Amino acid sequence: MNSQIFSPSYPKSRMRRLRKSDFILRMLTENNLSTNNLIFPLFVIEGNRIKEQVSSMPGIYVYSIDEILYMAEKCIELGIPTIALFPVVNPELKTNNGIESINADGLIPRTVIEIKKHFPELGIMTDVALDPYTIHGQDGILDNNGYVLNDETITMLTKQSLLHASVGVDIVAPSDMMDGRIGVIRQELESNQYKNTIIMAYSAKYSSSFYGPFRDAIRSTNNLKKGNKNSYQMNPSNIDEAIREAAADITEGADMLIVKPGMPYLDVLAKIKEKFRMPTFAYQVSGEYSMIKAASLNGWIRNDEIILESLICFRRAGADGILTYFALEAAELLIKSK
């Protein structure tokens, strides 16, 4: 055997010594995943006794408020600390300016009130954006040329945030990517005595093709049609821009940050976490979920193993938590592994 092909430290240093047995693998595990790291996104719709599967997301459903209470209870049983709510809005209520988003008797406020009435200990995060409420599927108000107006949109987002805070939302999460919205929302929350409402900013939200199944779930695909969100969401080629976005959001008063999508953007996640040492989250988005789930249903990959592997990748890259449609499955797997 030619010793010159080996490292100068070999055989004194054999890395495989530390992989030989289960006890040493467990003892030297650098990153861990627990149910505390999971946030479960849930889709809510008007009506009663509704549980409809999202066709492009096997195993994921749209729930009426009465049915979503069962899911909230399930999260508590499994130790999942937080849910994220996304509305499926009646098409008749969609408008150019998304005015339904600030309706005090709207779907999200009533859902939050019901969940908090039954499960006050469960953290609730809400999406702050206009795309579920607009007839054009964009995240903001349009001018006559179809361009999303920044400051006019912020006015609506601020009202939406205040409404959500007033009904007991723990975390408001502006996902719109308008410039300056975190600062305005923070100022208004402070001025209206919602000092403890957390802002989780979608600081690095990319104009991605991985969002398709989500748009199916909230039924905005036909609204957006062949449009895109390139004028406000980020270019997938850019990372320095993500650092500037995160820095701006922190300066304006964000408590936590999100990188979205997830696994294709682990480099962005790692860089933002290393740079700012802020609570930083990743969103394993609908396209990521659907690809993994479709492959597992076809027997091409092993479902349980790949779910946990994908989630530990987020933790390794620096995520304090992960929004994932696998939250229930992952929690059950983690409990079984104890």
Q: How confident is the model at residue 227 (pLDDT cuts 50, 70, 90)?
A: confident
What pTM value is reported for the model? 0.94
In a domain? residue 53: yes
Considering the domain boundaries, does residue 19 fall inside one? no
Exposure string for 33-66, b = 16+ CB within 10 A, e = fewer: bebebbbbbbbbbbeeebeeebebbeebbbbbbe
pLDDT tens digits, one per residue of 258-284:
999 999 999 999 999 999 999 999 999
**Domain annotation covers residue 12:** no
Domain annotation covers residue 239: yes
pLDDT, tens only, 204-224: 999 999 999 999 999 888 888
Helices (H) and strands (E) in the chain, counts: 12, 12
Residues tagged in the binding site annotation: 245
Total structural domains within the chain: 1
- pLDDT category at 6 given cuts 50, 70, 90 is low
Residue 309 included in any domain: yes
pLDDT in tens, 97-121: 999 999 999 999 999 999 999 999 9
Distance CA 334, CA 167 (A): 33
Please tell me whether residue 314 adopts helix, strand or coil conformation: helix
Residue 174 lies in a domain: yes
Predicted confidence (pLDDT) at residue 130 exceeds the cutoff of 90: yes
List the CATH number of the domain containing 285: 3.20.20.70
Rounded Cα–Cα distance for residues 76 and 71 (Å): 9
Annotation says 205 is catalytic: yes
Percent of the chain with pLDDT over 70: 98
Phi, psi angles (nearest 5°) of residue 278? -95, 155
Residue 235 lies in a domain: yes
For residue 10, being part of any structural domain is answered with no
Q: Which of 206, 176, 210, 201 is nearest to 280 (CA)?
A: 201
Measured distance CA(113)–CA(217) in Å, rounded = 23
Residue 80 lies in domain: 32-336
Identified catalytic residue from 260, 271, 273, 293: 260
Element (H, E) at 278: none
